[in-house]
Amino acid sequence: LVVDASDLSGRPIPDTLFGIFFEEINHAGAGGLWAELVNNRGFEAGGTQVPSNIAPWTIVGHESAIFLQTELSSCFERNKVALKMDVVCENCPSGGVGVSNPGFWGMNIVQWKKYKVVFFVTSTGSLDITVSFRKNEDGGILASRNIKASASEVSNWKRMETILVADASCSNSSLYLTTTKKGVIWLDQVSAMPVDTYKGHGFRSDLVNMLLELKPAFLRFPGGCFIEGETLRNAFRWKDSVGPWEERPGHFGDVWSYWTDDAFGYFEGLQLAEDIGARPLWVFNNGISHTDEIDTRVITPFVQEALEGIEFARGAATSKWGSLRASMGHPEPFDLKYVAIGNEDCWKKNYRGSYLAFYYAIRHVYPDIQIISNCDASSKPLDHPADIYDYHTYPLDSQIMFNNARVFDKTPRNGPKAFVSEYALIGNKQAKFGTLLGAVSEAGFLIGLERNSDHVIMASYAPLFVNAYDRKWNPDAIVFNSDQVYGTPSYWVQLMFRESNGATLLRSQLQTPDPNFVAASAILWKNPQDKKTYLKIKVANVGNKQVNLKISLNGFESSNTTKPAKTVLTSADALDENSFANPKKIVPKRNPLQSYSNEIYEILPPVSLTVFDLLKN
Ligand code: AHR
C-alpha cells in the first residue's frame, strides 16, 4: 500500500459521512432506548375499541376476588381505553389484589435507584393502593409505596405520582398496583421511569453511551418500514407522537408487529439527535404504505402534515406547531436540515407524482432543507429534482458486500449526492446475529464509500438496535436486554471509521493480487481534544488467508511523541459473534506498533480490519 501522506494530496471527506439510523424495530425505542418500564401503559394495545388487549398486564389475585375489564372511560380524548378493576373480596389477601406489568421481558430494577411512578386513577370510594416492584422469580418486594386518597379526591380522574427507591436489584421484575380494599378502581396511563435518564430526557443512558462512542454525524429516524406501515392506518404519523405522553394515542406498528405508546416520538427523535450532537434527518410518511397509497391528486393533506412537521421542528416558539414544541420544553428550534420523502417507495405508483408535490412545497417554504428521494441514481440519472438520493443494500454474500465498494465508482458526479441510509450483510449463513465476516465485508464497503465520498455524503448501518427478546431483524449493531448491552462486530467497524467525518482522504494505491479480498484507505484527521493531526490507515482483509502487508508512506513526517499503534478487529473464526455471555469476544484490540520509518511491514490476519494510527509532525 503506497500512501501519499502529504496534506496536499488529499481531498476533504464530508463531515456528514458516517451517522446512524434509528428505527422503531426490534423494540429499539419502546422497551429499549426509551427508558419507560411499563409495557402497554394505557391498556390500549388492542386498539381503540373494547374489550382491548391489556397484555402483558396480568391479574394479581384470584379471579373470584378481582374482576378486570376495559372500558372507554378514560379522561384522555385520544386514548379512551381505561382498565376497570372490580375488587370484590371482603377479606382480600394481605398481599393485595390488582394488576402487574412485567415491562418488556422483565423490568431492570437497580438498588438505590429512584423510579418515578405516575398513574391516573378514579374510584367509587376512597383509594388505598400499593405500588411496588417485585421480583418475577419469587415475588420478593424490591420497593414499595402505599398511596391513599379520600373518595372525593378520586371521584374524578386524578394524576398520582410517587417515587420508589429500590433496596435491592433484580433485572427481571414487575410493577404491581394492588389493594386490599373492596371497591371499583379505574386505572389509565401507568408509567414507571428511572429518574436518572440521559440528560433527564427519558433515554436509557447505557444505550445512548453506545451511540456517543460512534460520534455519529447524523441521526436518521424513525424508519424505515416503521414510517410506512403495512397499511396507512398503522403508519407512524408524527402528530400522534408529540405533546404530553399520556395523551398520545399510541399505535400498532404492523410492519414489525408490536404496539408502541409512541413515547419515543418525533420530538424525542429530534431531542436525541441534539443530545448526541448529530444532525437530525427526518423520514416522514408520504401517503404510501406497504399495501395502500394515497392518490397523488389528493396528496395535499399529507404535504401539509409534512410542512407542519418541519414547522414543529424549526418554527418560532410563537408559531402554531413551534409553540407545541416549546411547550414540550424546547423553545429553541431544532436544527432540522434533512428530510426524506418516504422510505423505499420509488417503485410505487404514486411515488413520483406525490414526491413532486412534497418537494416543491418544502423547497418553497424551506429552501435550505436538503430533500432526499427514495429513487436510486447510482446507475442512471433521476427523472425528478432532489438534493440527495437514498440507497439501501442488504447482500446475502460477504463478497458482494465487500465488492459493493465499487458501486459508486462510475456514478456521474453531476446529479444529486448519495445517502447510503441502510447497509448490512444479512442472512443466516454468513451474517447470523452479527458475525466478524459480515463486519469486515462492511468495512470493505465503507472504504469504498470513503473513496467515493465526493459523491456519497452520508451512510448508516441498519438496524441500529435489537432487544434480544424481539429479534425481528438480524443482524443489528447493538444488542441489549433490560440490563445488558453489547456491540456486534459491525458496531465496532463503525467505531473504527468514526474519525473519517470531516477528515482528509489521502491518495493511496493498493497493489495486490487479491483486490476482491483486500481494501485500504488513508486519512488525515485532526483530534479536537489535543488538536494534533493523525494519519489513520485502514486495511480490510475479507479473505480467509493472512496477508503480508507493506505500507510505504510518501511525504510523511512522523512525530515520536505519541507511540504509533495498530488496532485489529479479528477472531479465530470468521463466523464468530459477540453475545451476552461473551460480549467482548470480538472488539478492536490496540497495540503499540513496532518502530517504523516510512515503511511498515505487518501481517493482516484472515478476516480482519486493521487500523494503523500515526501522529503527524
Ligand atoms: O432495516 C430494516 C428494514 O430494511 C427497514 O425498515 C427498511 O427500510 C428496509 O427494508
More confident residue, 617 or 458: 458
What is 397-450 written as a DSSP string?
SHHHHHHGGGTTTT--TTSPEEEEEEE----TTTTTTTBHHHHHHHHHHHHHHH
Mean pLDDT of the chain: 96
> What is the per-residue pLDDT for 63?
87
Q: Compute the average pLDDT of residues 328-351.
A: 98
Give the pLDDT confidence of 481-501 residue by residue, as tens digits: 999 999 999 999 999 999 999
What global pTM score does this model have?
0.97
What is the per-residue pLDDT for 594?
79
Secondary element (H or E) of residue 302: helix 300-314
CB of 473 within 6 A of ligand 1: the answer is yes
Taking the CA of residue 124 as centre, how many other CA atoms within 13 Å lie in the half-sphere pointing to its CB?
A: 10
Q: Where are the alpha helices (DSSP H) in 12-63?
A: none
CA quadruple 362, 364, 365, 368: dihedral sign: positive
Q: What are the angstrom distances between the C-alpha of 224 and each of 94, 117, 210?
A: 49, 32, 21
Question: What value does the mean pLDDT take over residues 305-316?
Answer: 98
CATH 2.60.40.1180 fits 2-12+504-615, yes or no: yes
Evaluate if residue 172 carries a pLDDT over 70: yes
CA of 224 to the centre of ligand 1 (A): 5
Q: Supply the pLDDT for residue 561.
A: 60
CA 127 to centroid of ligand 1, rounded, Å: 47
pLDDT tens, residue by residue, 426-473: 999 999 999 999 999 999 999 999 999 999 999 999 999 999 999 999
Q: Residue 300 is inside which H or E element, if any?
A: helix 300-314
Please, is 366 exposed, middle or buried when counting C-beta atoms within 10 Å of its C-beta (0-12, 13-18, 19+)?
middle
Q: Ligand 1 centre and the CA of 257: distance in Å? A: 14
Which residue among 343, 393, 396 is best mutated to probe the pocket of ligand 1, counting the most ligand atoms within 8 A of its Cβ? 343
Q: What percent of the chain has pLDDT over 70?
A: 99
pLDDT(515) > 90: no
Dihedral of the alpha carbons of 89, 90, 93, 97, in degrees to the nearest 10 = 40
Cα–ligand 1 centroid distance for 278 (angstroms): 21
Ligand 1 contacts CB of residue 222 (under 6 A): no
Summarised one tens digit per residue, pLDDT across range 210-244 is 999 999 999 999 999 999 999 999 999 999 999 99
pLDDT of residue 9: 83
Assign domain 58-194 one CATH number from 2.40.30.260, 2.60.120.260, 2.60.120.380, 2.30.40.10.
2.60.120.260
Instruction: Determine the pLDDT at residue 47.
Output: 85
Residue 563 has pLDDT above 80, yes or no: no
Decide whether 58-194 matches 219-273+282-374 in CATH topology. Answer: no
- DSSP code per residue over 545-586: S-EEEEEEEES--B-SSS--EEEEE--SSTT-B--SSSTTSS
Q: Which amino acid is at 211?
A: L
Q: How far is the CA of 35 from the centre of ligand 1 (A)?
A: 24
Q: Which atom of ligand 1 is nearest to the CA of 226?
A: 6
Q: Break the chain into its structural domains and give their ranges.
A: 2-12+504-615, 58-194, 219-273+282-374
Query: What is the per-residue DSSP string for 205-274?
Result: HHHHHHHHHH--SEEEES-SHHHH-SSGGGS--GGGG-S-GGG---EEETTTTEEE---S-HHHHHHHHH
Residue 587 CA to ligand 1 centre (angstroms): 26
pLDDT in tens, 278-303: 999 999 999 999 999 999 999 999 99
SS3 94: coil
pLDDT tops 90 at residue 582: yes
pLDDT confidence bin for 560, thresholds 50/70/90:
low
| 69, 54 contact by CB (below 8 A) | no
CATH number of 219-273+282-374: 3.20.20.80
pLDDT in the model for residue 611: 98
Ligand 1 mutation target, pool 20, 26, 225, most atoms within 8 A of CB: 225
Q: Is the ipTM of this complex over 0.85?
A: yes
